[in-house]
Every structure is written in C-alpha cells, then in structure tokens.
Structure 1
Amino acid sequence: MNHPDRRTGYAAWQIGQIMASRIERTLRPFQLTLAQHSALIQAAFDPGVSSATAARRAAITPQSMGTAVNGLVERGLLERRTTPGDRRTHRLHATEAGLRLAAEAGKAVEATHAEALQALTPREQEQAHSLLLKLLASLNPSAVDDGTP
C-alpha cells in the first residue's frame, strides 16, 4: 500500500498547489489573480462565454468568478453583454486592452509552465499532459469541453 502522501490524487493536489502559487507570482506584475486570468483567457478564446460556464471550466464557484469578472470589468479588460432574448445571462467579451493583457500574461504563464516541467523530457511532458487531461475530463468534463482554450 502506498503511503497516503504518495497517492496519485494527493500528488496531483500538491503539484496543483505548487503550480497555483508559481502562477500567482507570475501574474502579480499584471495585477491579475488566477481566477481573473482564467476569465480573461476564456473570454479571449471563447468570446461570449457565460460567467457560469467560465466558473465551471475553472472549477471555481460562480461567486469567485463573479468577483474576478467584476475586477476585470472595472479595469476595462472585460465587458458583460446580454444576448437578445436572454437579458439575465451575461456574456463575457475581452476588450482590446484585455486581449493585449491576456497575450502578455499568457506568455509569462507559458514560461512558468516550461520552467516547472523541465524535469520531464518532451515525450514525458506530452504523456503527463495527456493523462492529466484524461483525468480532468473524467472529474470535470466542463473543463475540457470544445469551447475551452
């Protein structure tokens, strides 16, 4: 039997915590939180995504996503738009400034990912990525639906 601290789920949680911390540090100069970055990236890659869908994909509460979106709207990085016939559902659209910031922050986050994955060969990175996406699809199908960046 594996030591409880070495179970796959616990190891994945530890890696997730470490990566979240590293990405949060990377996003600080852009004045973005992880939730804000997720909302911004989703609006950039899937214009018109609903806040609820963005929250499900990011595996955070709708309230946390709402707070993130509010901050981005206040900064002029996102716009909320209603759809004709459905005035209650707000659709998220990145502004030009939001698209520029998403691209800049995205490059920094990519560098953080690359640095964190240096311990693996390119083939191992592909294998790990594929297996993690398979688990994610099983545990949170919304995170890997066709509209996900």
Structure 2
Amino acid sequence: MSQDGDGIDLENSLGYVLKEASSALRIAMEAALRPLGLTVTQYSCLELLAQRPGLSNSDLARGAFVTRQSMNVLLQAMERDGHVTRPSEAPVGKTLPTRLTPRGRRSLQTASAAVRSVEVRMLSGMTTEDQASALRILRSMIGSLRDDA
C-alpha cells in the first residue's frame, strides 16, 4: 500500500519492477546497438528473420511489438540500407515475404554479440539455478496472463 493508503506500493509491485527491468534492458540494448547503427526494433526484426525467413510485415510487427505501419516504415528503411529484401509483388495473396541479405546477416551477427553481452551483464548477479528459476517463473506469468485473455 502507498503511504496515503491509495494505490499500490511501487517498490513491492512485481508488475512495476518488471516494467522497470524491461526499461533498463531496453536502454542497455539501445546503447549497445547504437554504435552499430541499429535500434532494438531493427535488431528484433533481423533476429526474427534469421529464425523464420519469409515472415510478413504483420508477423514481424507482432514479433517486435510494434504496429504494422511502424514495421512497414522500418522494413522500407532496412531494405534501402541493404539489410533485407522483399519482392516487389506478393508471390501469393498480399503478403510480401521478407528475407535477410548477406549484409543483414553480418549486421545480425555483430548485433547478437552486443545484445548477448548486455544479457550476460544483466544476469551476472544470478546463479545458473536463479536464472533457470527466473525464466520458468516469467514463462508461468506470461502463460497465466494469456490463459485469462
């Protein structure tokens, strides 16, 4: 409870602390990716395409937690920069499958190392068992919230 009795005690609110951790992680990732000329969203897009080549704009937007419109603008810029390629016309339906270029793969390799160093730093105060427990607990929370949706 807050001091005046209304609301919640943010210092002890798991949701608030999760948001704070998410924000700190994003800031650290942005700092690590900035020298490489990438944003977290661009990195996410490269990573998603490496794991699942040919994803659509909508699939990429969902995976990177942005709107379809934002992803479309991002993909246009990444295509101009030579990181991805999309056909000028959809081979089937309206979907333009996106694929990494060799330049995109090289950028991803460098960016992945930078992001991994951030994650290692974030987890440095935890034992391997703590890390496994944290991952299990977070997955459980996600599952519980999705089950109720």
TM-score between both structures, scaled by the size of structure 2 = 0.84
Aligned to 2:92: 85
- What amino acid does structure 2 have at the position aligned with 1:115? R
Q: Gapped runs of 5+ residues in structure 1?
A: 142-149
Higher fraction of strand: 1
Q: Does 1:9 align with 2:21?
A: no
Structure 2 CA distance, aligned partners of 1:138 and 1:67? 33
Q: CA RMSD in A?
A: 1.9
Structure-to-structure mapping, 1:1-149, within 5 angstroms: 3-81=9-87, 83-86=90-93, 88-139=94-145
| TM-fit CA distance, 1:56 | 1.0
Q: 1:66 to 1:93 in 2, by over 3 A?
A: same
Structure 1 CA distance, aligned partners of 2:46 and 2:144? 25
Whether contact under 8 Å (1:48, 1:91) holds in the other structure is yes
Please identify runs of 4+ aligned residues in structure 1 that moved more than 4 A: 137-141
TM-score between both structures, scaled by the size of structure 1 = 0.84
Q: Gapped runs of 5+ residues in structure 2?
A: 2-7
| Identical amino acids, percent of aligned pairs | 29
Q: 1:6 to 1:37 in 2, by over 3 A?
A: same
Structure 1 CA distance, aligned partners of 2:117 and 2:91? 40
Whether contact under 8 Å (2:48, 2:63) holds in the other structure is no
More RCO (CA 8 Å, sep 6+)? 1
Structure showing greater Rg? 2
